[in-house]
Structure 1
Amino acid sequence: MREGRVSVEIGEAGTQAPSKADRAELPGGWAWATVEDLLVGSDAGKSFKCEPRPASPDEWGIVKVSAMTWGEFRPGENKALLDETLVNDAYEIRAGDVLVSRANTVEHVGAPVLVEEVRPRLLLSDKSLRFQPGSGIDRKWFIYWLRSPTVRKAVAAKATGTSDSMRNISQSDLKAIPLPVPPPSEQRRIANALEERIVRLEATELKLRTAERRLEQLRDFIMSAAATGVLAWDADPKHAPITTSPAVKDGTLPPLATGWRWARLQDIADVVGGVTKDSKSEHDPALTEVSYLRVANAQRAQLKLSQVTKMRVAPKTLAKLRLHNGDLLMTEGGDRDKLGRGWIWEDQIQDCIHQNHLFRARIQERATHPKLLGWYVNSAARSWFEANAKQSVNLASISISKVKLLPVPVPPADEQEQADFVELGERVLARLDRLATACEKGLAHTAALRRALLTEAFAGRLVDQDPEDESAEDLLKRIRAEREAAEAERKAARRAATQTKRKSRAKPHVPASSDAPPASDTPLPEGEQGTLPMEFTA
């Protein structure tokens, strides 16, 4: 173990060391630098017109940001180039490249990947950057560092853009991020130690996510079984499922327990749409300010009410659309597989209404329990909503006339029996919720362990130091020399290209006519005018 810790600041031109307040003591042999200090070059891709399909193997393609989003390079995430005459193969992606997403979602902007395998004829896009680390920089260590909490925090602070879905970061901002650099041999030891531990973390995360998906599938099954009476098989054999409905045979509707029947939603509930927000009414003092629910508040079998907005409406609108305890809210538009999602209103907010992209179903004469209906529309009815929706370019929607025709299971009229179905469903779903919460906690724990590992690694506390290692200062000097040589080579290539272009544009040399008099340095006598021989032929 190298003895002692020292605070090192690189003083060479072009290096931006952290401020004294942020600078931490480093192990001996380490040094502060910036991303730019580790590079011998970098490239920014260009924007091209592309076809909305992946390139075939013999075509040139442009990578999409999704190729750099998920922690590994995905060459299949590309678009076919429309005009291949514009190709500059200097921007072709090659194995060993370090790529960074310059524009992406808040979570993934600045996300790095190491290209290990790549198909030929794939180019950088204008939303991607390529970093070329100098010799002595371990690329896996560099990728791990770019994914560290410190860098993610710096990227979040520098990323620009007003859209919540897309942010941008400049090449100069990325290259200016400071970092502690260990000796080359220690970089490899850190990368190997991180890889070994993170592989185990990823295996645990995969199991937890698989368990989450299975729990979600089981939750859908339990909601459907409770909403059709089938969940009570073991409790009472009289509820064994029947399959007398023709709709069951073609798979459009689930089986019902004995004593249950099918009806249309309009037969058991009043279904209405909501109100459209009018910006002109926002400051009208004659109107009443109330809370209103949006599509974002209606999630799968739950209402999320942490962010509820306000609007002003006329008293008659409030009277018509005020939500009552037991009302079921369902989404009208959005992604096709999310149509109809929503849940039961339970008077959480006084005087609350809903917008026009939510439908409200108010059950008549206690025809069914609201939770039985809510479970049904969030499970078995999902396929019906998808089949009856209309698709626009980006969104799907379903009309209120269609929703009123939704086939719904109706339980026996006995209210106590309905309550028994609800109690059994809630008990089973509560167990699944506890398991899902355990999975969420497990994933949060693995994420915290990953952050801790990266923090320890880049503070020099994950592996031992070796006093025989080449120092980071010597490494940075060597990279600086490589960068200067590479830049000189690039300048020479640009000069050569410019000269070639100038020569190609120069006017061709026109030789003098053979009839012209020979050039003479003897001046003409004053007052004399020279003449040129001229011949005219008929």
Structure 2
Amino acid sequence: MTWGEFRPAENKALLDTTLVNPAYEIQAGDILVSRANTVEHVGAPVLVGDVRPHLLLSDKSLRFTPGSSVDRSWFVYWLRSPAARRAIAAKASGTSDSMRNISQSDFKAIVLPVPPAAEQQRIADALHERLARLNEIKTHLVATRQRLERLRDVVMAAAATGVLACDADPQHMTIDSSPSVTDGTLPPLATGWRWARLQNIADIVGGISKDAKNQHDSALTEVPYLRVANAQRARLDLSQVSKIRVPPKALEKLRLRSGDLLMAEGGDRDKLGRGWIWQEQIEDCIHQNHLFRARIQEHATRPELLGWYVNSAARSWFEANGKQSVNLASISISKVKMLPVPVPPADTQEQLDFVDLGARVLARFNRLVTFCEKGLAHAAALRRTLLAEAFAGRLVPQDPHDEPAEDLLKRIRAEREAAEAERKATRRASAPDRRTGRSATGQPAPETAPPRAPTPLPEGEQTTLPLEFTE
């Protein structure tokens, strides 16, 4: 449900089809809703199209089966409308900041406006046409933004190695190998530049670990501290900065200074090393243990040049030297100290010229990326407006000759009552008579085998369910 479309190939299916309960088997035309998900996606719906056999409804999902006269596309669009999303958010609960749950009973209690069946189809057709155009625009904007970001990485790497300002052909240079890291192929450098290990031009330290006991000690100093979420690719996101209580010695040791480069120690593998330069935006700020701080030695290089390199050409080095656990990747401080970094000529003014040229070119790319992001935000707002107008009755014309919605609801109630009566009759027909042991159809009642006693297990062993799943 999170993707907004049904992808049967990415779901799990039972290998042993004898375990399939037909009551939970997903069928084409089903409307599925995410019952437990993130704040953004709880209650997200999909309309099932082609589906492979033996695909079952999970306990984190709900299935809606509208009446025969209800347009299913219209119903899914309504579930995505701003009004429905607000109603779902109001009823969803959860203790986590990111995860929410909504019960079946709460979902069933949500009130929705029901137009005549013919108008439902007109609404669905109009939304399909308009939203398809919006989706096409969104696809182009996303692709354009991705191309711009790739080109921006190329420019950052060229600026960080001097190639952007170099008239002569760049030179491929080497660095003494180290058995502790894998350097791979290093990019070419401009004339006068050289390679060095990060530990040769900067002091690198890790941050502070959060000690829960200290957070209630009023004698300790409370200061702001940066987390991995604050260190984005070539920028710092300071919209949410947490605070922590630390001893005075820790504050003195870890207080950030202008020009310090922050790099992520853990997270997704492709995000290792990302981060940017601290410019004293917040007084007495420190950083957590999942961020490394590199403080450049005097005149060795400009922080911007090092930051551009770490966030562009060095990404492959971080991925190659990171360690992957089950869910997260990380890299040790000893390896980060061995990162090969380009070192410009010692002339301070020349270094400033490199930074000025790189900043001017990158500013153009940043403006274009901003235009794409504004376009995507506008498309999202227009989508919400279209859905809101559709379910306020203002997107398509109304026809007084349409069958009234009340007649539609009466027919749905009649269908439901008939289906319930049929289920009860089926249960009565299959139930065995107490005197004869036969059902109403004359068939003998199925024999019920007595439960088997569980087989004792040797001490220390555990049982497993006989289920096999495949991705």
TM-score for both structures, normalised by structure 2: 0.88
Q: How does 1:234-273 map to 2 (within 5 A)?
A: 237-238=167-168, 240-245=169-174, 252-273=185-206
Q: What residue in structure 2 maps to residue 149 of structure 1?
A: 82
Q: What residue in structure 1 maps to residue 455 of structure 2?
A: none
Contact 2:173 2:195 in 1 (8 A): no
Q: How does 1:7-406 map to 2 (within 5 A)?
A: 68-81=1-14, 84-233=17-166, 237-238=167-168, 240-245=169-174, 252-406=185-339
2:343 matches 1:439: no
Distance in 2 (CA, whole Å) between partners of 1:428 and 1:198 is 36
Q: What residue in structure 1 maps to residue 349 of structure 2?
A: 416
- Of the three residues 442, 446, 454, the one matched with 1:504 is 446
Contact 1:331 1:342 in 2 (8 A): yes
CA gap 1:246/1:406 in 2 versus in 1, 3 angstroms: closer
Distance in 1 (CA, whole Å) between partners of 2:420 and 2:33 is 22
Distance in 1 (CA, whole Å) between partners of 2:425 and 2:45 is 31
Residues 464-494 of structure 1 show CA distances to partners (whole Å, capped at 9, x for unaligned) of 1222211101111011000111111222333
Deviation at 1:497, TM superposition (A): 4.7
Q: Secondary structure at the match of 2:32?
A: strand
Distance in 2 (CA, whole Å) between partners of 1:224 and 1:157 is 47
Contact 2:262 2:292 in 1 (8 A): yes
Distance in 1 (CA, whole Å) between partners of 2:223 and 2:119 is 62
Q: Secondary structure at the match of 2:143?
A: helix
Distance in 2 (CA, whole Å) between partners of 1:502 and 1:347 is 84
Contact 1:184 1:470 in 2 (8 A): yes
Distance in 1 (CA, whole Å) between partners of 2:215 and 2:73 is 54
Deviation at 1:157, TM superposition (A): 1.0
CA-atom RMSD in angstroms: 2.0
Name the amino acid aligned to 2:171: I
Name the amino acid aligned to 2:426: A
Moved more, 131-140 or 306-315: 306-315
Q: Secondary structure at the match of 2:445?
A: helix
Moved more, 85-94 or 271-280: 85-94
Deviation at 1:247, TM superposition (A): 9.3
Moved more, 85-94 or 467-476: 85-94
Contact 2:175 2:195 in 1 (8 A): no
TM-score for both structures, normalised by structure 1: 0.78
Name the amino acid aligned to 1:241: P
Contact 1:334 1:397 in 2 (8 A): yes
Moved more, 490-499 or 480-489: 490-499
Structure 2: 5+ residue stretches without partners:
178-182, 433-438, 450-471
Deviation at 1:375, TM superposition (A): 0.8
* Structure (1 or 2) with the larger CA radius of gyration: 1
Q: Secondary structure at the match of 2:361?
A: helix
Identity of aligned residues (%): 76
Residues 488-530 of structure 1 show CA distances to partners (whole Å, capped at 9, x for unaligned) of 12223334455469933589xxxxxxxxxxxxxxxxxxxxxxx
Deviation at 1:205, TM superposition (A): 0.7
Q: What residue in structure 2 maps to residue 63 of structure 1?
A: none
Name the amino acid aligned to 2:240: Q
Distance in 2 (CA, whole Å) between partners of 1:451 and 1:212 is 22
Distance in 2 (CA, whole Å) between partners of 1:118 and 1:426 is 51
Deviation at 1:246, TM superposition (A): 7.6
